[in-house]
Structure 1
Amino acid sequence: MADLLLLPVVRTAAGKAADAVVRRMTGMWGIDDDRLKLERQLLAVQCKLADAEIKSETNQYIRRWMKDFRTVAYEANDVLDGFQYEALRREARIGESKTRKVLNQFTSRSPLLFRLTMSRDLNNVLEKINNLVEEMNKFGLVEHAEPPQLICRQTHSGLDDSADIFGRDDDKGVVLKLLLGQHNQRKVQVLPIFGMGGLGKTTLAKMVYNNHRVQQHFQLTMWHCVSENFEAVAVVKSIIELATKGRCELPDTVELLRVRLQEVIGQKRYMLVLDDVWNEEVRKWEDELKPLLCSVGGPGSVILVTCRSRQVASIMGTVGLHELPCLREDDSWELFSKKAFSRGVEEQAELVTIGKRIAKKCRGLPLALKIMGGLMSSKQQVQEWEAIAESNIGDNIGGKYEILPILKLSYRHLSAEMKQCFAFCAVFAKDYEMEKDILIQLWMANGFIQEEGTMDLAQKGEYIFYDLVWRSFLQDVKVNLRRFIATSYESIGCKMHDLMHDLAKDVAHGCVTIEELIQQKASIQHVRHMWIDAQYELKPNSRVFKGMTSLHTLLAPSKSHKDLMECYITCKH
């Protein structure tokens, strides 16, 4: 991936270097020359990053340089944050007693110690940037004008997802017939829906799951997203909770869970959706999960499975396999045009002709059509449409990451702020439901969004959130009723398609879950944003935060706060 979020990080650092508060602090300590050199170097690099991103597609050396520069740019941001923090701390000290001020001269907050430390840190980061700029100058990069930022448009929360479903009535009819036709079967039947990523398997499953005939036919309907966790204990616990609509407090003992599963489901005719199954190990299904799930339920019970792999479908299926086809050309065009010709883009003849070429490149994949339609809705000029049509976006469709070129192309057309906000979502696990207001607060706290005109930070965050939804970077938006003590309030939740989550992981820097860190899938020195799952128990004295000096965001359940003292002491950012 060429676009490594370098441009917005460099732009943010350059802005901090030019900040009046930082200038005042560096001037006070006689190190303003280094600050000015840093600012100039960052501005010089910023002008050539657009060309670097283009050339990094074919030049591995430039791609490696961009990754190295991103790491140093983050270091520069941290150093400059230190000056801003010290200025705020000094303001807060106004009114302190003379004794307190004298004591501060001999503590870790001593002005002399601060000056020595920050002078050293600024000099170190400047030296690293100077070396990288020398390398950059050998690449022959030219200055490119930065792409124009997207104009903010008014958006609203009235999302009608069902209106974006085209060409799936036949598939819905086939699956309904298979589901409802098992009423004479004494054993639990398994019906797989399979096909490549972005085809709409989950959407079809939702259409069937919410159908009134299905809801009346089955005494119990349950939905569990499997993703990469196919462990028997986790799946069975979730099903027990779905059946009882309450927490399962049993220990992770399979025999106890089996008995409880028998109690809560018994002989009820149930339908269970296992969404997004990846596991291809026959043993996991045949020896572990199947004996548990297929030993309960009355005649006509069905497990509906969605998966990308024919192998998974063959291992689990008993009713037959339903392979989800790509959309027909007319349905593809209807879905694409509904997205593209909105937000002020007129459906003129020339754009229609070019748009049909773009839609054809999406090869009938609903997610690709929605993404490209959302992208084109921000393009007013014929030349812009023609440039997209001439690109190679649909040339590589067919493998595990069939639509990744399309996702990357759409990502590159986001504004710098939107790129940072989207990439930050990689900190959450796949299929995690994010809360809109909390997400916006985190974007604001990390400095990803800036005020614009009369629009304050919260309003700008709302715009970015709904624009990411419109472009299908975020999805499954719904209103949830929350309770806090004696009051109730509504919150808006959303999720990411797992392909979008893969893209976010690809472009993000230092966004990890605690599990990824423990499994050593991430370098501890570069962790900037970390999420601890509510089910994860942080052991006392685990030393998991040792060496984690760059952490900016820690999302953890409240019950683990008492175990996080090590983090509070170690992580200063």
Structure 2
Amino acid sequence: MAEAIAFDIAAELVTKLSSRALSQIGLWWNLKDDLDDLKRTVSTIKAVLLDAEEKSVTNNLVKVWLEELKDVLYDADDLLDDFSTEALQNDLMGGNKLMKEVRLFFSSSNQFAYGLKMGLKIKAIKARLASIGSEANTFGFMVRDRPVETSFMTKKRQKTHSFKDKIIGREDDKAALLKLVLEFESEENVYIIPIVGFGGLGKTALAQFVYNDKMVYDYFELRMWVCVSDVFDVKIIVENIIKSITGQAPDQNLEMDQLQKQLRDKIGGKKYLLVLDDIWNEEREEWVSLKELLVGGAKGSRIIITTRSFKVAKITSKCQPHVLKGLSDDDAWSLFKEIAFEQRHADSTNSAFVEIGKQILERCSGVPLVIRTIACTLSYKETEKEWSSFEDNELVRISQNDGKILPTLKLSYDHLPSHLKHCFAYCRLYPKDHEIHVQTLVQFWIAQGFVKQLNPIQSLEDTGFGYFKDFS
């Protein structure tokens, strides 16, 4: 992520170096020429950053170069913030020009000395950037245009996609699961159905598709959904099952014996459906200790498990797992077309766009998450040339191996405008599977200065909520 951060800092620096306050303070300390040189150097480096980002995926030397660039840009950014603070303090000082300069000279922080110190810092940063710039020549970076950021702000989707009630290409999978959930006669009161597949295939979406079906809703007395993920802690899972039933988390001071009793009271003798989403635990004993707490349901109860591991499927259930595969070519194209051409219906019949789109789709291996990510990125590209450029220059970064979806998500991140990158990166502070309250998250973004008030009529909170919707 260093390369994307480097571009964001470089873009911010160019803006700061163009500000009137810094120009005035630079003239006052005779530093304007140094600031102008710094601006030109940063702009030159910024022009090749897109090419550097792409090369860093396969070239470790370029990755190191970008880390060094990020470090010096952070130092330059801190320096300019220091300038801005000093300029603000000077503006707040009253009196005429002569009196102001006298006070400044005899103040505890002598401004002449301050100017000399800052001048030396600027020269040091210029030298570091010059060295980094000369290293860039050895890599042979090309000047490349950055994706236009304004398109994300000016274009809005006409509708959002809910993959809970409607997902493309999974009707047969849903029908097979509904048979197991509603019709299959099992000897066990609680029958366990694993859904297995690598990341991005839509295991969770398929489970939601079944979970929200009206027949399922009417058939079961209780429906519960718990995201398990990496940490398989029976106590935490039980607490989350109870929370899913009651809508409230149980008292944190309760011991395991008390929680077990609560759970048995809630599910005992009732026909229930429980989804345990994203299980990684492959230790049989830990699973057995949880299963023993869940067998008290009435006959016909079901547990759906989603997992990437066939071993998990084997230790949790006697039945054959439902193995999720990639979408068929027709379904993959339907999904791609629905998103990529959503705002430009005419292009969906344009042979040039269709041909490029189908070539791009071949690298997606039928994985819905990859298809949606790439199609969403292309939906903001206006011309055939932009689509071809994406195919020739960026698609090579995507692996065709099963389950290798991180390069695709990284590519999607690269195409976010800088203000959204900061907001997205901030979400890394939350632990995996943490339930994020949007209103609180937006307040944190505002406090960090990530939300910019472009429209005076719109509040920062409304702008922040707009940022959040741009991620959906």
TM-score range for the pair, normalised by the shorter chain length: 0.7 to 0.9
AA aligned to 1:70 is: K
Q: Which has the larger radius of gyration?
A: 2
AA aligned to 1:189 is: Y
Q: Which position in structure 2 is the counterpart of 1:312?
A: 312
Quote the Cα distance in structure 2 between the aligned partners of 1:343 and 1:217: 40
| 1:46-125 equivalent positions in 2, closer than 5 A | 46-88=46-88, 125=125
| 1:418-567 equivalent positions in 2, closer than 5 A | 418-436=420-438, 438-440=440-442, 442-443=444-445, 445-448=447-450, 458=460, 464-469=467-472
Greater RCO between the two (CA within 8 Å, min separation 6)? 2
Which structure dedicates a bigger proportion of its chain to helix?
2
Of the three residues 207, 210, 213, the one matched with 2:209 is 207
Q: Report the secondary structure of 2:287's partner residue.
A: helix
- Identical amino acids, percent of aligned pairs: 33
Q: Which position in structure 2 is the counterpart of 1:532?
A: none
Report if aligned partners of 1:225, 1:431 keep a CA contact under 8 Å in 2: yes
Q: Which position in structure 1 is the counterpart of 2:415?
A: 413
The 1:235/1:369 distance shift into structure 2, 3 A limit, reads same
- How far did residue 184 of structure 1 move? 5.7
The 1:262/1:419 distance shift into structure 2, 3 A limit, reads same
AA aligned to 1:290 is: K
Of the three residues 219, 229, 232, the one matched with 1:230 is 232
| 1:116-515 equivalent positions in 2, closer than 5 A | 125-126=125-126, 128-151=128-151, 152-155=153-156, 158-162=159-163, 165-181=167-183, 185-251=187-253, 253-286=255-288, 288-294=289-295, 296-344=296-344, 346=346, 347=348, 348-390=350-392, 392=395, 396-401=399-404, 403-436=405-438, 438-440=440-442, 442-443=444-445, 445-448=447-450, 458=460, 464-469=467-472
Quote the Cα distance in structure 1 between the aligned partners of 2:262 and 2:41: 64
The 1:147/1:367 distance shift into structure 2, 3 A limit, reads closer
The 1:14/1:383 distance shift into structure 2, 3 A limit, reads closer
The 1:383/1:42 distance shift into structure 2, 3 A limit, reads closer
Report if aligned partners of 1:361, 1:394 keep a CA contact under 8 Å in 2: no
Quote the Cα distance in structure 2 between the aligned partners of 1:369 and 1:257: 42
The 1:90/1:237 distance shift into structure 2, 3 A limit, reads farther
Report if aligned partners of 1:172, 1:207 keep a CA contact under 8 Å in 2: yes
Per-residue CA shift, 1:25-61, capped at 9, x if unaligned? Answer: 4555565555444333322321222332243344321
- How far did residue 180 of structure 1 move? 2.1
Report if aligned partners of 1:444, 1:457 keep a CA contact under 8 Å in 2: no
The 1:359/1:18 distance shift into structure 2, 3 A limit, reads same
Quote the Cα distance in structure 2 between the aligned partners of 1:464 and 1:390: 30
The 1:226/1:42 distance shift into structure 2, 3 A limit, reads same
Report if aligned partners of 1:225, 1:274 keep a CA contact under 8 Å in 2: yes
Quote the Cα distance in structure 2 between the aligned partners of 1:378 and 1:164: 24
Q: Report the secondary structure of 1:293's partner residue.
A: coil
The worse-fitting range, judged by mean Cα deviation, of 318-327 and 217-226 is 318-327
Report if aligned partners of 1:218, 1:269 keep a CA contact under 8 Å in 2: yes
The worse-fitting range, judged by mean Cα deviation, of 368-377 and 138-147 is 138-147
Report if aligned partners of 1:2, 1:56 keep a CA contact under 8 Å in 2: no
AA aligned to 1:63 is: K
- How far did residue 371 of structure 1 move? 1.8
Q: Which position in structure 1 is the counterpart of 2:13?
A: 13
Quote the Cα distance in structure 2 between the aligned partners of 1:177 and 1:230: 29
Q: Report the secondary structure of 1:161's partner residue.
A: coil
Per-residue CA shift, 1:380-430, capped at 9, x if unaligned? Answer: 3223333444565597333442x3343333333333444344333323222
Report if aligned partners of 2:398, 2:408 keep a CA contact under 8 Å in 1: no
Quote the Cα distance in structure 1 between the aligned partners of 2:276 and 2:430: 21
The 1:258/1:91 distance shift into structure 2, 3 A limit, reads farther
Q: How many residue pairs get matched?
A: 459
Quote the Cα distance in structure 2 between the aligned partners of 1:394 and 1:172: 33
Q: What RMSD, in angstroms, separates the aligned Cα atoms of the two structures?
A: 3.6
- How far did residue 357 of structure 1 move? 2.6
The 1:172/1:302 distance shift into structure 2, 3 A limit, reads same
The worse-fitting range, judged by mean Cα deviation, of 110-119 and 41-50 is 110-119
Quote the Cα distance in structure 2 between the aligned partners of 1:112 and 1:242: 66
Per-residue CA shift, 1:344-397, capped at 9, x if unaligned? Answer: 352223322332232333222112222222222222322333344456559733
The worse-fitting range, judged by mean Cα deviation, of 205-214 and 67-76 is 67-76
Quote the Cα distance in structure 2 between the aligned partners of 1:325 and 1:400: 11
Report if aligned partners of 1:345, 1:380 keep a CA contact under 8 Å in 2: no
- How far did residue 64 of structure 1 move? 0.6
The worse-fitting range, judged by mean Cα deviation, of 339-348 and 266-275 is 339-348
- How far did residue 193 of structure 1 move? 0.6
Per-residue CA shift, 1:165-217, capped at 9, x if unaligned? Answer: 11211111111111224676444322111111111111111111111222222
The 1:455/1:367 distance shift into structure 2, 3 A limit, reads farther
Report if aligned partners of 1:362, 1:368 keep a CA contact under 8 Å in 2: yes
The 1:132/1:352 distance shift into structure 2, 3 A limit, reads closer
- How far did residue 441 of structure 1 move? 5.1
Quote the Cα distance in structure 2 between the aligned partners of 1:69 and 1:236: 48
**What's the TM-score once normalised by structure 2's chain length?**
0.83
Quote the Cα distance in structure 1 between the aligned partners of 2:230 and 2:16: 41
**What's the TM-score once normalised by structure 1's chain length?**
0.70
